[in-house]
């Protein structure tokens, strides 16, 4: 994440399902995105920048956590265009791992938006994925329309 640059998008998804009177199938849903303003390791920022841009970040204001994590911590500040979505967007479908067991993969519909991550379609408990250049404009346009 330290390689993020201004104008990049950092998209967050979560495992969700309906509850109570709300019906929604279990799956992985986009819930939030940052339109990146700044990103980097702690040592890349002055004390003034830390106070200005990251004072509300739990990893920064919790001094015990900060002191524990500061050597490896990557901080990302989003612009005012960043969004916590009002309605989560389903991005997964059920696929299979190499043993034939079910797991959540990027849906075919979302593959047309984000690409196939070089064939690594499993997004269940996955490490960060980078959208390849051929899909960046399409993916950014899709994400920025989400509310």
Q: Is the CB of residue 10 less than 8 Å from the CB of residue 1?
A: yes
**CA separation for the pair 96, 94 (Å, rounded):** 7
H or E element in which residue 124 lies? none
Pairing between strand 74-78 and 27-41? antiparallel
Tens of pLDDT along 29-69? 999 999 999 999 999 999 999 999 999 999 999 999 999 99
Structure tokens that stand for 85 in this block:
């979505």
Structure letter (DSSP) for residue 122: B
H or E element: which one contains 52? helix 47-53
pLDDT of residue 10: 97
For the entire predicted model, the pTM comes to 0.89
């Amino acid at each position: 994440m330290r390689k993020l640059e201004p104008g990049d998008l950092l998209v967050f998804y979560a495992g969700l399902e309906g509850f109570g009177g709300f019906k929604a199938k279990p799956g992985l849903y986009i819930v939030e995105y940052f339109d990146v303003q700044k990103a980097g390791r702690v040592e890349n920022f002055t004390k003034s920048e830390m106070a200005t841009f990251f004072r509300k970040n739990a990893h920064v204001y919790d001094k015990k956590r900060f002191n524990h994590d500061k050597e490896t911590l990557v901080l990302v500040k989003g612009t005012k265009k960043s969004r916590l979505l009002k309605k989560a967007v389903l991005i997964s479908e059920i696929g299979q791992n190499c043993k034939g067991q079910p797991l959540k993969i990027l849906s075919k519909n979302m593959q047309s938006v984000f690409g196939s991550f070089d064939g690594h379609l499993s997004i269940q408990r996955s490490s960060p994925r980078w959208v390849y250049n051929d899909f960046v404009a399409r993916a950014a346009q899709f994400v920025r329309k989400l509310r």
